[in-house]
Structure 1
Amino acid sequence: MIESYIKALIATNTVLFIGYSINDSNFNLIFQWVKNILRNHFQPAYLIESSKKYSRMEHAYYKNRGINILYYDEISNMPNNNIFDISNWRGNRLFDVLSYFNSFDKMTKMSDLEIIYNKISCFEKLNFIMPEQIVKNLGLKSVGYDLFGDRTLTILNGENGLSRVFSNHDTYKDNWIFQKIIMIFKKANIQGVSREKQIIFSIDNQDNYLANLRARIIDQDSLIDPIDINSFTSLIEGEDYFLMLKQAFAYCECDKFYDAYKYYKTISLKAFQDKEFLIYYISEFNRKHVGKFLVNGYYNVNNNIEMELKELDLENIYANLPNRERKSIEFLKELQDFNLIYKVQNKLNKEVDTLKETKRTVENGGFSFNSSLNKNFHMISNIWLFVEANYLCINKYKEIQSLYLSFVEGIFASYSTQSNNSKSFFNKVSLNKIEKLDLYEVYIIITKLKTSDFENVLVEYNLRELKLENSAFEYIMKVLDKVIDNILNNRNKKKSEHYFYNIIVLTSKTNLDFEQANLIAGKLLLLLNESINLNEFKYINKFIVAVANKEILAQSTVLDYLEKYLEIYMRNSRIIEFDNNGLYKNLTNIYVNYNEYPINKDITSSYVILIKKSYEEKEYDILYTVFENLIVPILKAISEEYKNIIIKVIESLVEKIKSKEGLLQFNELNFYYIISINDVITEDKEINKKIIEDTVVKIKNENKAVKVHPDPIERNLNILTDLYRRNKLKKEELEEFVDVFGGYSEYFDLVFNTKNLKLTDIDLLSYLKEEEIESLMNNKGMKECIYSLFEKKLRYLPFEKYEDIFGKLYAKKF
């Protein structure tokens, strides 16, 4: 009878076992009944365990069999009533638990203030909260978040607890619960409460919580104020868990994934033991993702880590967390499968599309009013703060990077919007658009975009010049100083170089003044040293050319670069090999005021000594290199005394080349070409003939089955073409070879043999003079070929080259 009665109770009611222990024989008998019944999904059963500490394995074991164990030590901040004698600790604990459960129905007796706090207090420990999660937890149907306006919690209609509390906020202003609610709102970027478009309460932001949080994140992420990654042991012994997460996050951001993984593992263990379940889940979440970076990257990962990652089940961890913690990290759970990111991405895309449509409408003479610009900013700002402030290691995923790219597209769509010059009524209405990039926008560009993506966006929106707020320029200077120092000292080099490249691309497009341009150029000069690499050369060159084209590069700055370059070569001759973008050559072209800014005589003297010594020791290869790459381009700036010595050696070398038996070596041929087109010597028909003969032999001996780069035949023909176009070679000197040379060099054929030319290299057209263009356009077939090629290659051309070719050539079509 009793057995049947108990089974019936268990089958139809929620059962709470009071006073039992897991080890009681009676409980184990009843447990068998429960196990048999509850596997058919009847009502749940619970057991209060007041004598044992929480055990995850034990809890999971019984939960899978239908009984949920409620451990005394799981309940935080539970009052101790001590209703029984102190020796009866089990009885006291059981009473405390039951009293705590009986307090649950007091929610109906809570004030509006207490109800609001109870619903959102689970977020208190987070540094930033998504405002949508506050709205969700409040559970008020008529409340929303004003994303694009005042960023208030907006009560759409009717009365509710929120409106009652904040309509009477003076009553609560000194209440500690009210102050806690306000702090949670600040963390969620909620600026106040409004009802039916009327603000009924504005939050006082004198403490600048979010502004300070943003500034701290920007400084740390920009390497201005980096986190010390050498303080692991001292931090882990403390109680500041977010400081521990911050440290581990710094490891991850520096690509020290193995160190980050070990650190997260330690944090998780400590947090779990201390029942800091929010920290525990965030740490495990990060450990999972850092582990993925380890396993999927080029790292040697031991089998233990791979096994640990397979066993690390975030879904299971989340399901076993106390309800309060589950609520506070619900958005984090959405991040696990990137649902949250996809939602934000879809919303961002919608606003970016609106900004693009606004651009088209305005530029066609219309008008558009919308809030997409504000929404674009607040959406990215909120998700950025949520990830960065709570130290979530997901920045390296392409899904996150796509968010920032979409944001920047929206910024540039607005920035590039140009008002139509027609006399339309709408042109009298001011347009809400970005006029200058601010610090936050510049920060996102520098730290979050791939350089190639940034360059593509600039091309897409045809942005030739960018204006910056003063604070944005000051920020760039701070970051530039830091990344240059890091690169020079080999600290955090990968990230520093990434930031450096983006800074150069950005400042090359910025409308800098004379002082700013030379300030940056002076900082970049620090990188010009023996250990400079290819990319550093490339981006320094990019900036120098950009500001020189704007005529804001000081001749004194150019001189500093030339002198340092020449000094470095004396210590490391390989600098020339890395300068494959032609920085030195561009500097010499910019260097025009050499009388006022002469090269240091000690430097030129050292080169004269080198030249003399190399000539005496017959080290002609060194001489060819020095003359071609360094001395000939600056010969105009060298004193007459030294210039005469140099020219004498050059003439002697030319005579040796002329008298040489057999074919020329390329370094000999190229030496003659350089000194000839730079007017150091007059044309020499004998050497021209040697180059032609060398080319004929190369064609005769060509093995078409073997491709050589660079192609020696094409190289020779390009030199001959340049010599002809510079009046250093007469057409009749190679007239009989035109047909023999056809088909090996598009450049040669473009000048000498257009009859059978199939042009594929659009860049060649930018080299031609106006009269050469006119001659080409008289050939109908060639004319159509050029137009067709231009239209095909149009989208791939850099804007400067497009403008040059279009102005010279394509506009003639119309």
Structure 2
Amino acid sequence: MKFKEKIKDIRQAKENNRLVIFVGAGVSKNSNVPTWEELIKVFADKLQYNNCKKCNFKNKIKCGDKCSEKYNFSQDEFLKIPQYYYDMDNSKDKQKYKNIIKDTLGIQAKSNEIDEIILELLPDHIITTNYDTLIENSNNPNTRLYKNIYKDEDLLKQNNSHYIIKMHGDINDLNSIVLKESDYISYSQKHVLMETKIKSLLIDHTFLFVGYSLNDYNLKLILGWIDYLAKENNVFEERPKNYIIQIDNKSTEKYVESYLESSNVYVINTNDLPQQVNNKNKDINLGYYGKKVYSCLDYILDSSNDFLVEPLVDVLLEKFKIFNDFKRISYEDLISFYSFGRTKLNGYMMEFFDEYEYNKIKKIVTSNEIKELEIKKILRKAVIVYIYFIINHKVDHVKIIIDDEDDINQELFSLYLDNNYSEILKKTSLSKDYKLRIYYYYLIKHDDIIKNNDYKDMLIQMKNTLLNNNSIYDLIVYNLDNIAYKISKYENVDKDWKKIEQIINQLSEREQKAYKFMKKINFGIKDNLLSQQVLFEKLEATYLNKDGSTYWGKPLVNLLELQGYVYDYYFYFKFNNLTLDYFSNPNKYCTYYLQAIICTYTPNKNRKSDMFLGRGTKLQEYEINEYDLDLFIKYTNSKDLKNWLNTYNVKELKLDEDINTEQILIKFKNYCISLIEFKNIFMYNQLHCFILILSKLSLNIEEKKVILIEMSNVIEKCLDKFNGLIVKILDSVLLICREFINDNIAEFNRILVNLLDCNVIKEAKARDTINELEKIIDLLCKYKDNNVFKKIDLIFESNIEDKFDILFIIRKNFSNNQKKRYRNMLISSDLQCVKNNQIFWLVYEELLFSDENIKDKYIKTIEKEIEERVKQPNKRTFPDHIEEAIESCIILNLIGKMDDISFLKKYQQYSEFIEFIFNSDNFDYSKINIKNYMWKNLITSKKYLNIILKHKRDLNIDKLKQAIENGYATEDEKKFLYRYLTSDEELWKL
């Protein structure tokens, strides 16, 4: 086993929380604490026990304490010598025996650098045969993570995950010390729990022995336990390896290594340490041997040491292999394994701020060697297409080129961007990758998840594949797919989300780093959103010129950084097949970026103070690319998008060179086809967003015609069978009508003919979209022709229940003959078929004329409501039928459609407007509120304006002025005050 492989295995154990560091006397020696051997020597001197009497060299050499043979005791003697002294000690409670231990070892000593780095390694547990307190008394804050254990009862008392197990006792409790032969013999009986704990750790943990010689009795004891456990459980393969650090100037003998390896212990010889690591730690405050041990531990702790001794490409391959299962890597996860110096992601470009680091990576990405190609693939997995460095205001950049022609993920994503959903499903049906199949089924046929068992069957098949692989990635994706399934069935999924979180939390430290972004996008994007908010606010302040300052610098720098956040998220969840599209998170995550794009189109951006004497940076508009288009369509709310376009007064959106209107129209055509075929409920909002974007592009008549043809096809192909789909997209149809109505495109006629359908109108009424349908039909009346009249004749001839209501809705498309026919129908029915809210419009549009029948209809409405109020005084309708009838009559009177409204005089108590009209002299003029649309109507009448102005002193002018001063007055209120109620002198004071 090579030196580097041993280091990697220990690192892996550490990352998996499976590392135990076993600390011997050699570590404490660096703090000048006497060793076990030195303690035994003190006992030997007290007993006058040595090898001098049997020495074969005493006549040949000078005898003395420096003689190496004098204290050259066997392992057996090391246990027996303190036992001899203990047995001869007649003092009370063996105090002399204890004093020797205390006086020899209980010196004032400080923790050393090796103690510190052991704690920095954060092993799962630390076990030591030392009696001192150097580790637990270290100044390293990590000590608080460990509980000190030196007696069995401590294990019962302490409730903690990590321990410092002092298996031979503590110097501060001399009764706990394990030293003499009887202590070792009775250890298993007196320390049952500690021995059991240590043996249990030997089963599934990697032990690293530090500060032990190969001949150490304690080491041999542990080796004996390892052998026993292996033989007892018949486990010799796939058990964790154990390691011992040895300080030698030459390699350990092969037979010694072979002997240790038979007990699953591998020697890490400091002689094999790379000199670069030794040089790095040359100034550490330790002796020669201590520095060797420290450097070895530092090599394990700090993986950046690899860069000192290995080619960068090899180190990166080793670091990034954890991402093998991922189809896409988050930039955040990537740089957590290697920072590349200091970098920033701008869209799909990685900017370097360290020239040396940039040149190292540039050398890799410009090479076509096998290892370098693998690194390039990893960078492209993180959607990094370019790397660049700015030097002397010039950009040095490199495009990362790989061959991805056979990448099914990329192929499917391209089809997805083109909205070619049918082709996607054809290709995924042939794939054995259930992550792909489930994701695109979820995305495209979401409404079918609970209608048939296709999705469920794929879930079962995917679950079966998990039995044959150990992929954590596959496990998490499966659980996400299962959550999507349960949500579609309206089941509670709180436990399922917790399950995913637990899976990630139970991973090793290194694995958790790889899944950090996965965890973030599922459980906490708040930090990223706050960062995005700051970037957005900076950009908006610049483009709206909020502080009035001149702008210098790169105008889109904040937007590109926002793009980095969003693209990282977007490509990560799309390519990793995470079924999150229809959750709220994607929309939230994309909001600041998409709004920022729209903000760059504000007309305010290059006015006044952002350009000083013709200098400063001209703020530019961001050109939308193919990915942005997809984000706008599928990951924003149509109401938000419409609001942004209005807020920033956007006239026209520009396209990036990678996409043109012809390609967009192909995407739109495919989208409409997919909408018809799959009828995914989420596509309705997306269609409206698509139309909003199209409405802001520079399109010629032919291109607009293409859009209308596709919309006509959607309506026509869904007639009768899928009227529900038609009425769900009426907001989109209305939008396109408003935008293109003046372009005289004949296709509008086809739309109008198809919408003049009784069943569509009924469906729109049932689904509360009748207002949109009415507006569309009214707008398109300019395109009415004989085909329209024929369609309306069919309705006239029908026997449908709601015929009068339907005819009212489509009335603006009547021919002259149909108008007469409609009027006769209404009159012949004595207006019984006409609803109260319809009368006003019929009179206003002169389909009916104000006569006694009309007045009588209004009077009946009012009297009926008054009668109801007498029966039920606290009951009110909304809208108020009395107010509605009275106000309709007043307006008709104001516009000359109803000559006499004196019949309303008796209803003054129900309307302040009638009270004003018929009792103006006694009216309380403080009631007048210009915000109310009826008072605005009355003021526009010269007759009633003059009456009001005669009583202007009685108006609540102070309240009006206060509203203006506080900034909440309407424009109508301002105009009324300035024009009619304020003198020239007062106006100048305002």
Aligned runs of 1:308-327 on 2, under 5 Å?
313-315=502-504, 317-319=506-508
Contact 1:401–1:449, Cα closer than 8 Å, also in 2: yes
- Cα distance, 1:132–1:701 mapped onto 2, change above 3 Å: closer
1:698 maps to: 865
Give, in angstroms, the shift of residue 314 of structure 1: 0.8
8 A Cα contact 1:689 1:733, kept in partner:
no
Letter in 1 for 2:197: N
Deviations 1:355-383 (A, max 9, x none): 01212338946224242122122221122
Match of 1:373 in 2: 559
Give the TM-score normalised by the residue count of structure 1: 0.69
Match of 1:283 among 469, 474, 485: 474
Deviations 1:362-409 (A, max 9, x none): 894622424212212222112221222222344455444322011112
Aligned to 2:945: 775
Higher relative contact order (CA 8 A, sep 6+): 2
Query: Quick one: distance in 2 between partners of 1:259 and 1:348?
Result: 39
Q: Deviations over 1:192-216 (max 9, x none)?
A: 4759678787345374789997785
Residue 414 (structure 1) aligns with: 600
Summarize the alignment of residues 103-122 of structure 1 with structure 2, pairs less than 5 Å apart.
110-122=310-322
The structure richer in helix per residue is 1
Aligned to 1:684: 851
Q: What is the aligned counterpart of 2:743 among 524, 544, 552?
A: 552
Indicate which of 432, 442, 446 corresponds to 2:629.
442
Q: Distance in 2 between matches of 1:439 and 1:729?
A: 58
Q: Aligned match of 2:345 in 137, 147, 156?
A: 147
What CA deviation, in whole Å up to 9, does each residue of 1:146-203 have, x standing for no partner? 4349934636266x7x856855988xx3531122222222333062475967878734
Alignment TM-score, normalising by the size of structure 2: 0.58
Distance (whole Å) between structure 1 residues aligned to residue 240 and residue 691 of structure 2 = 55
Q: Distance in 1 between matches of 2:500 and 2:829?
A: 76
In the alignment, is residue 519 of structure 1 matched against residue 717 of structure 2? no
Residue 725 of structure 2 corresponds to residue 538 of structure 1? no
CA 1:372 to 1:306, structure 2 compared with 1: closer, same or farther past 3 Å? closer
Structure 1 residue 447 displacement after superposition: 0.5
Highest Rg: 1 or 2? 2
Q: Aligned partner of 1:346: which letter?
A: L
Count of residue pairs brought into register by the alignment: 705
- CA shift for structure 1 position 44: 5.3
Alignment-mate amino acid for residue 859 of structure 2: I
Pairwise mapping of residues 13-92 of structure 1 onto structure 2 (< 5 A)?
35-37=196-198, 45=206, 72=238
Deviation of 1:705 after TM superposition, in Å, equals 2.1
CA distance in 1, matches of 2:390, 2:805: 77
| Deviation sequence 1:235-282 (CA, Å, 0-9, x none) | 4xx4xxxx332223234435449976775665465346334xxxx212
Q: Describe the superposition over 1:327-368 as per-residue Cα deviations: whole angstroms up to 9, x where unpaired.
A: 644543554543xx3343233222111101212338946224
Superimposed CA distance per residue, residues 39-69 of structure 1 (whole angstroms, 9 cap, x where no aligned partner):
899995459xxxxxxxxxxxxxxx9xxx9x9
Verify the 8 A CA contact 1:251 1:260 in the aligned structure 2.
Answer: yes
Describe the SS at the equivalent of 1:313.
helix
* Letter matched to residue 633 of structure 2: I
* C-alpha distance in 1 between matches for 2:407 and 2:599: 26
Give runs of aligned pairs for residues 553-702 of structure 1, distance below 5 A: 553-554=744-745, 556-566=746-756, 568-569=757-758, 580-581=770-771, 583-584=773-774, 586-588=776-778, 591-592=781-782, 597-599=785-787, 602-603=790-791, 605-606=793-794, 609-610=797-798, 624-625=804-805, 627-630=807-810, 632-635=811-814, 637-638=815-816, 642-643=817-818, 647=820, 650-651=823-824, 653-654=826-827, 657=830, 665=832, 667=834, 673-702=840-869
Alpha-carbon distance in 2 for matches of 1:214, 1:788 = 63
Task: Quote the residue 1:25 is aligned against.
Answer: none
Query: Which residues of 2 match residues 179-194 of structure 1 at below 5 A?
Result: 179-188=373-382, 189=384, 191-192=386-387
For residues 498-520 of structure 1, the C-alpha deviation after alignment (integer angstroms, 9 at most, x for no partner) is 21132234445556544444433
Change (3 A) 1:694 1:259: closer
State the alpha-carbon separation in 2 of the partners of residues 746 and 535 from structure 1: 45
**In 1: Cα distance, 2:474 partner to 2:792 partner:** 61
- 1:622 offset after TM fit, Å? 5.8
1:349 matched to 2:540: no
Summarize the Cα distance change of 1:382–1:357 in structure 2 as closer, same or farther, 3 Å threshold.
same
Residues 811 and 180 (structure 1 numbering): CA distance in 2 closer, same or farther, change over 3 Å?
farther
Counterparts in 2 of 1:442 and 1:561: CA distance versus 1, 3 Å: same
Shift of 1:497: 1.4
Kindly state the Cα deviation for residue 626 of structure 1 after the two structures are TM-superposed.
5.3
Q: Structure 2 regions of 5+ residues with no counterpart? A: 1-74, 80-125, 131-163, 165-187, 209-228, 242-257, 275-305, 981-986
**What amino acid does structure 1 have at the position aligned with 2:804?**
Y
1:754 & 1:513 partners in 2: Cα distance? Answer: 58
Alignment partner of 1:358 is 2:542:
yes
Matched to 2:896, the amino acid is N
2:665 is aligned with 1:477: yes
1:787–1:184 distance in 2 versus 1, CA, 3 Å = farther
Q: Does the C-alpha gap of structure 1 residues 442 and 130 become closer, same or farther in structure 2, counting only changes over 3 Å?
A: same
Measure, in 2, the Cα distance between the counterparts of 1:540 and 1:149. 34
SS, match of residue 667 in structure 1: coil
Residues 1:564 and 1:316: Cα distance change in structure 2 (over 3 Å): closer
Residue 739 of structure 1, aligned match among 908, 926, 943? 908
Q: Would the alpha carbon gap of residues 100 and 135 (structure 1) be closer, same or farther in structure 2, given more than 3 Å must change? A: farther
CA distance in 2 between partners of 1:300 and 1:400 (Å): 22
Q: Is the alpha carbon distance of 1:463 and 1:793 closer, same or farther for their aligned partners in structure 2, counting shifts above 3 Å?
A: farther
Residue type of the alignment partner of 2:827: V
- Listed as ranges, the matches of 1:218-237 within 5 Å are 219-220=415-416, 223-225=419-421, 235=431
Counterparts of residues 267-278 of structure 1 (less than 5 Å): 267=462, 270-271=465-466, 273-275=468-470
CA-to-aligned-CA distance 1:280-322 (integer Å, 9 cap, x gap): 21232234444555666752579xx969975983145423x9x
For structure 1, the residue ranges without an aligned partner over 5 or more in a row are 15-27, 48-62, 76-90, 658-663, 796-801
**Equivalent in the alignment of 1:18:** none
| Structure 2: distance between partners of 1:542 and 1:809 | 34
2:692 is equivalent to residue 498 of structure 1: no
**Partner amino acid, structure 2, of 1:360:** L
Q: Which moved more, 1:715-724 or 1:751-760?
A: 751-760
Tell whether the 8 Å contact from 2:417 to 2:667 is kept in structure 1 after alignment. Answer: no
Q: What whole-Å deviation, never above 9, does each CA across 1:513-559 have from its counterpart, x for those lacking one?
A: 444444333332344434434442333223323433xx3353x3443
Conservation of the 8 A alpha-carbon contact between 1:289 and 1:393: yes
Aligned equivalent of 1:59: none
Question: How far apart, in 1, do the equivalents of 2:943 and 2:570 lie?
Answer: 53
Percentage identity across aligned positions?
A: 12
User: Counterpart amino acid of 1:691?
Assistant: Y
CA RMSD in angstroms comes to 5.6
Q: Distance in 2 between matches of 1:283 and 1:744?
A: 71
Q: Give per-residue Cα distances to partners, 1:735-769, cap 9 Å, x unaligned.
A: 523514415999999x9999475659766689789
Paired residues for 1:729-808 under 5 Å: 729-734=898-903, 736-737=905-906, 739-742=908-911, 755=925, 757=927, 775=945, 778=949, 780=952, 781=955
